[in-house]
Structure 1
Amino acid sequence: MNKEITEKSKKIILIILIAGCFLSTLNQTLLNVALSSFMDIFDVTAATVQWLSTGYMLVNGVLVTITAFLMKRFSTRQLFISSMFFLLIGSILCAFSPNFAILLTGRMIQAIGAGIIIPLLMTVVLYLYSSEKRGGIMGTIGFAIIFAPAIAPTLSGFILEYVSWRWLFIGLAPFLLIIIVLAFKYLTNVAETTKAKLDIVSVILSTIGFGSILFGFSSAGSKGWDNSIVLTTIIVGAIVTTLFCLRQIKSNDPLLNLSVFKYKIFTLTSFINILITLIMYADLILLPLYLQNGRGFTALEAGFLLLPGAVINAFLSPVTGRMYDKYGARPLFITGLLFIIISMWGVIDLTESTSYMYLMVRTCILRIGLSFITMPLNTAGLNALPRQLGSHGSAVNNTVRQLAGAIGTAVVITVYSTLSTSHASELSIENVNISAVQLAKLASIYGSSGAYLFMLVLSFVALIVTFFMPAKKTEKRKNKGKKTALEQRGIR
């Protein structure tokens, strides 16, 4: 680490990186409510337009595994400015795309830029700040990461309603240019670079393995679990990923250092991370399905219902970050999961008359719970690692999150679809005169309730795991002793 970095320089570095992270996250979520519009604009099917999200996620997932190598090989300035340029070039290509193929190409280029931003930011925090101060800093980062998707649906809806869809991308360009200029002028390098060698075989294995798993699970929701492509890609992905992990364990200089799992706290937070990501993605899918398919609300009304909770989540993030520094991880996780359990319990019996305001309040309760967990979860896991494993821990965290998001989306759609079909059969037998429209609405409502019951069970599992987290003083003492022992044995 560069010892000459002053407090003022640290703040400038963080502001520039957080601004880039905000635009990257905003860019990732802006298109979520625009997919149906793109189907009409470019005359493509739902399966084709979904590649704007699936393709983006695939590129992200593949890139995340090599971020640890990139952070060793290239400087903070080089990586950040390159990422911003990829985002800028991708945005310009998307803005002026004459057809869907060019739009998708631009989107994939954007994903290259976005893939490294969050791992880079997390690693920089590990280098610049001691473990006692990281919670508050991570909370500030959390505000940027959470606030972007909070305003994205409303911002996107406004642009699609009143101006051209091209402004979803044109609007980003000047802000990206400003950040690039600021980065050239003020951004300093945080860690020393090394002439690390890239393990090409590991890159190929990780690309095929993680890419196949992400593609398989992402496709399962639309194609079905019995589809040969889905089954083949998941099986191939699992086998190749296993080979990748075995190679990393045996390697003296692994692409992704799996020794991070020797730290109990990191392993526990990774498992909780999987469950929380499943729950979060499930709610983002189930609630709009219930509101639009079951109740007939518009996409804009569904977006407005989600907005207050997301804003509360964003503004609470810095607060819970400071609370983490003071109280440690376990009390925050327990508090957050109790809020999540209450919010899930409140939607296991949805009906045709469940009020809009009730759902809005319930979503706010869920988001309060998530604010106690999301950023403190990252901080606790990374704090458990020695500095030299920080970039690997950040890469593992993001890989786990990508896989959990893809798997969670597929699983929740499967549970929802299975239960909806089952209820539709029962309702048609019980009430022969029921209309097709009413049947579809009721089946969607009951399917959503059943899927939320599944999420409630996952919430209880996460709560049980949380009790294995050590208390703050014990956590600090164990981490210090474990790091010293492993560092003495030469683990890097």
Structure 2
Amino acid sequence: MNNSQRIPAKVVAAVIATGLLSFCGVIVETAMNIAFPKLMKEFNITTNIVQWITSIYLLVVAIIVPLSALLKTNFKTKKLFIAAASLFIIGIVCDGIAPNFIVILLGRAIQGIGTGISLPLMFNIIMEQVPNSKLGMMMGFGNLITGVAPAIGPSLGGLIVTNWGWRVIFFCLLPPLAIAMVLGIWGIEQKSTIRKVKIDLFSLVLIAITFAGLVYGFSNVSSQSFISFQVAGAILVGLVAITLLIKHSFKLQNPILDFKLFKNLRFSGHVLIFFLVQMCSLGFAFLLPNYIQIVNNNSALTAGLIVMPAGLAGAIFAPIGGKILDKFGPKKPILFGASLMAVAIFTFVFIATKMSNMLIMLVYIFYMLGMGMMMGTVMTSALASLTDKEQTQGNGILNTLQQFAGSMGTSLAAMIVAMSQSEKVSSEATAIGSQHAFMLLACFVVIIIGVSIKVVPKKLN
């Protein structure tokens, strides 16, 4: 680790370049949700089919991210970045000119490969090349880049779809992708040693089956009977595959995912915090726009504009949380952030049956301030609990779980609301279902605070 107090310009450029790829990935994901009704009409498809625009992307990302440690060991960082950026651009163009829905899914899968490669690169570069005294701030800055995307994605999507059509969503991302490519080629430098490690194909197959089963199963929770192959069957297949993967990985010297890291209780505790925060955040990303549109009878564009200030606040507070970590250690920003989250979630529990748009916006800002403050800090503290050699594997685990937590959080929230809407999709049923979902998130935040008190140290190692 570089001990200089100054962050080199090339390191900043490398972080921005890799962050922009992840930013574009989230923008497409959140903006395209607004375009679902248009796509359903244009391609004559149903709701459960159109949702595969998101599901196929998350599935591919979840399969590729676990390979990050292996890819980083076998290939130069710059080559990986160029491959990721090129694939993402190919996927974007593919979707922009798609003549049918199958081509759109193909483009989204290609984008998922690009994002899956690039997402861990940003945090690997930060952990390797940023001095310890600036580590928290830079991790927060990295989270800021990706954190802005969910804030502006829905409103940007609504604006573009309303005025120019859904294809423009893809083409408008070409300029930032071009900027990312230039910055990456200039700024990314090789710091780690390259050594050829053979890819274990059996592990790769098990990873694919694991996430295919789990993502597919949880994505169908709200639309299919739980006792069906589409839900319980798929989840069971995923659980069997991950059990075999864990047993198999313990036999390998260089596993794709090193599950031995979970023997480190401090790291395991941070992983649990990280996972539950992601579930809460993606649950909110589904619940609040849904509530604004169905209960308060507003448009999708209005819903996007109402949640946008909170997203921006969360993104801005990410580097602030990092600065607090650099000065005072990780425990204070994590507990303070979790406390803000708890205040917001319990407020939503008590007022869920009758919330105005203004009240939703204000309470959600509190939640996102807390979430933004702690996310980068949790990652930094988690990786600091590992040795330098283990950090790439730890980063891969965190980024892998981030994708799965997003799918699971959205699915559980949708399932709980759908249970209340079983007889009729009414504003009253949606409000009650949302309240029940907020109660589940309240349980999660209590666990987050309890685990944080137990495992988060006052100072980084």
TM-score (norm 1): 0.89
Alpha-carbon distance, 1:420 to partner: 4.3
Partners in 2 of 1:279 and 1:353 — Cα distance? 21
Match of 1:269 in 2: 270
Give the aligned partner of residue 471 of structure 1. 457
Deviation at 1:185, TM superposition (A): 4.0
Alpha carbons of structure 1 residues 6 and 325: separation in structure 2 relative to 1, 3 Å: closer
Please say if 1:382 is aligned against 2:383. yes
Matching residue within 429, 437, 440 for 1:443: 429
Q: Which has the larger radius of gyration?
A: 1
**Match of 1:451, as an amino acid?**
A
Secondary structure, in 3 states, of the residue corresponding to 2:89?
helix
How far off its partner does 1:186 sit? 4.1
| Counterpart residue number, 1:486 | none
Q: Shift of the alpha carbon at 1:407?
A: 2.2
**Residues in 1 aligned to 2:453 and 2:3: alpha-carbon distance in whole angstroms:** 38
**Counterpart in the other structure of 1:317:** 318
2:448 aligns with 462
Q: Equivalents in 1 of 2:419, 2:267: separation in Å? A: 35
Q: Which 10-residue stretch deviates more, 74-83 or 183-192? A: 183-192
Residue type of the alignment partner of 2:454: F
Q: Are 2:30 and 1:29 aligned?
A: yes
Kept after mapping to 1: 8 A contact 2:143/2:376: yes
Change (3 A) 1:276 1:2: closer
Contact 2:330/2:381 (CA < 8 Å) preserved in 1? yes
Structure 1 residue 126 corresponds to structure 2 residue 127 = yes
Shift of residue 176, structure 1, vs aligned partner: 1.9
- Alpha-carbon shift at residue 393 of structure 1 (Å): 0.5
How many pairs are equivalent? 460
Equivalence for 2:190: 189
The CA distance in 2 between the partners of 1:49 and 1:321, in whole Å, is 38
Inter-CA distance 182–367: structure 2 relative to 1 (3 Å threshold):
closer
TM-score, length basis structure 2: 0.95
**Structure 1 residue 455: deviation in Å?**
1.3
Query: CA 1:182–1:375 in structure 2 vs 1: closer, same or farther (change >3 Å)?
Result: closer
- Equivalent residue letter for 1:241: I
Identity rate of aligned residues, in percent? 27
2:300 is matched with: 299
Residues 294 and 15 (structure 1), Cα distance of their counterparts in 2 relative to 1, 3 Å cut: closer
Which piece of structure 1 moves more, 5-14 or 304-313?
5-14
Q: Answer yes or no: is the 8 Å Cα contact 1:330–1:469 preserved in 2.
A: no
1:94-121 deviations in Å (ceiling 9; x for gaps): 1111111111111111111011212111
Deviation at 1:353, TM superposition (A): 4.7
User: Partner residue of 1:87?
Assistant: 88
Greater CA drift, 176-185 or 4-13 = 4-13
**Residue range with higher mean Cα deviation, 378-387 or 46-55:** 378-387
1:452 to 430, 438, 454: 438
Report if the CA contact (8 A) 1:221-1:409 is conserved.
Answer: no
Counterpart CA distance in 1 for 2:244 and 2:15 is 37
- One-letter amino acid of the counterpart of residue 445, structure 2: S
State whether residues 2 and 191 of structure 1, in contact with CA within 8 Å, keep that contact through their aligned partners in structure 2: no
For 1:236, the aligned partner's letter is V
Please say if residues 332 and 458 of structure 2, whose CA atoms lie closer than 8 Å, have aligned partners that are also in contact.
no
3-state secondary structure, aligned to 1:31: helix
Residue 244 of structure 2 corresponds to: 243
Question: Structure 2: which amino acid aligns with 1:297?
Answer: N
| Deviation per residue, 1:142-189 (Å, 9 max, x gap) | 110101121111111111111122111111223323332443344322
Distance 1:361 1:210 in 2: 36
Deviates more, 1:29-38 or 1:51-60: 29-38
Q: What residue identity is the alignment partner of 1:449?
A: Q
Post-superposition Cα deviations, 1:310-335, rounded to whole Å, max 9, x if no partner, equal 11111111111111111222221211
SS at match of 1:232: helix
Distance of 2:354 and 2:48 partners within structure 1: 33
CA contact 1:61–1:402 (8 Å) conserved in 2? yes
Partner AA of 2:295 in structure 1: G
Q: Look up the equivalent residue of 2:27 and give its one-letter code.
A: L
CA contact (8 A) 1:2 1:190 kept: no
Residues 66 and 396 in structure 2, CA contact (< 8 A), matched pair in contact too = yes
CA distance in 2 between counterparts of 1:351 and 1:450 reads: 9
Distance change (3 Å), C-alpha of 1:290 and 1:25:
closer
The C-alpha deviation readout for 1:175-207, integer Å capped at 9, x for no partner, is 323332443344322322111111111111111
Deviation at residue 10 of structure 1 after TM alignment: 2.3
**Helix, strand or coil at the partner of 1:224:** coil
Question: Residue 141 and residue 221 in structure 1: after superposition, are their counterparts in 2 closer, same or farther (change >3 A)?
Answer: same
Counterparts in 2 of 1:325-364, with a 5 A limit? 325-350=326-351, 353-364=354-365
Letter in 1 for 2:364: T
Once the two structures are superposed, the pairs formed by residues 167-246 of structure 1 within 5 Å of their partners are: 167-246=168-247
1:12/1:186 contact within 8 Å kept: yes
Name the structure 2 match of 1:281. Answer: 282
Letter in 2 for 1:74: F
Distance 1:343 1:176, change over 3 A: same
